[in-house]
Amino acid sequence: TDGRRANAKVVPPPVAKSAQFGNWEKVCVWVAENTPPNALFLTPRLNQSFKWRTGRAEVVNKKDIPQDARGIVEWDRRLKDIYYYKENGVEQSLDSISVLGADRVRELAEKYHADYVLMDRSQLLALPVVSRNDEYVVYRIKNPSASNSK
């Protein structure tokens, strides 16, 4: 094998082509190094490598489709609840959940017991910021149900 190739950094092909790849990589490194291994995240709808890069769980993502009927129904329900809305009776996807506003994002995070929300910086929210770069922001969500159960 080519020695240069053996030492090359492994990058998932669709993500490597992204214009925001460097910032995506940076925010994922921050998450992996600065959040508990059992942290749960709301992430951008079209991300493809968060779990692979960080080792952290997501509430739902478009790519990880469960393989059982009950799991598929729940997966579809979560996708629609978080990332879709109806306009004139037609289902539309959100480019970013930031357009929902801080109250709705917090409500979704608490509903699904997410500890953090990672999203693009298209619209900053009035939530506690724990990390940001030119493209992404990570918010810490205080989850009352989790802290009351400890």
Check if the beta carbon of residue 116 is closer than 8 Å to that of residue 137: no
Greatest C-alpha distance within the chain: 57
pLDDT for 10 equals 53
Q: Can you tell me the mean pLDDT for 24-36?
A: 96
**pLDDT recorded at residue 8:** 45
Q: Residue 1: its pLDDT value, please?
A: 43
Q: So what's the pLDDT on residue 105?
A: 96
pLDDT tens digit sequence for 56-107: 999 999 888 999 999 999 999 999 999 998 889 899 999 889 999 999 999 9
The confidence score (pLDDT) of residue 82 equals: 96
91 forms beta bridges with 86
Global pTM reads 0.80
| pLDDT top residue among 1 and 143 | 143
| Mean pLDDT computed over every residue of the chain | 85
Which has the closest alpha carbon to 120: 133, 107, 104? Answer: 133
Contacts of 85 (CB under 8 A, 6+ apart): 91, 92, 94
Q: At residue 22, does pLDDT exceed 80?
A: yes
Res. 143: pLDDT tops 60: no
